[in-house]
Structure 1
Amino acid sequence: MAYWVKFLRRNKVVIIFPLFTAAAITADLLHTRRWKAEKAAGVTPSPPLPGFGLVKPT
């Protein structure tokens, strides 16, 4: 157990960066789905999220 505590304390950036990236990609995907649904329903779509733009609404 103590090994993992030391490991996590030393490698905070290594762990936080992938979590942040995964959260950003997930938010982008969810917003794109909402954008497509609004567009299909004929509602004025909400503007795209600022950020990575990994998922392009089509």
Structure 2
Amino acid sequence: MNLETVYLLEKQIEHYKKELSKLVTINGNNLLHPNVIELSQRIDHLLILYWELTYLNNKKKRK
């Protein structure tokens, strides 16, 4: 696994989480606001990529 890729994913996830917090506050804690939903989906996608990379790395280590 490329550690640089994992590091960049972690940084991007953290950035999006901060942006999501701001968006939720700006939109009056409306979790169904389209911008909030879109950013949440981006975070979900990044988390899936992150966990897939982690899983593949662990799988390689076990062999």
TM-score by length of 2: 0.50
Higher helix proportion: 2
5+ long unaligned stretches in structure 1: 1-12
Higher relative contact order (CA 8 A, sep 6+): 2
Q: Percent identity, please.
A: 0
Q: Distance in 1 between matches of 2:46 and 2:15?
A: 14
Q: How many residues align?
A: 39
Rg comparison, structure with higher value: 1
5+ long unaligned stretches in structure 2: 51-63
Query: Cα RMSD between the aligned structures?
Result: 2.3
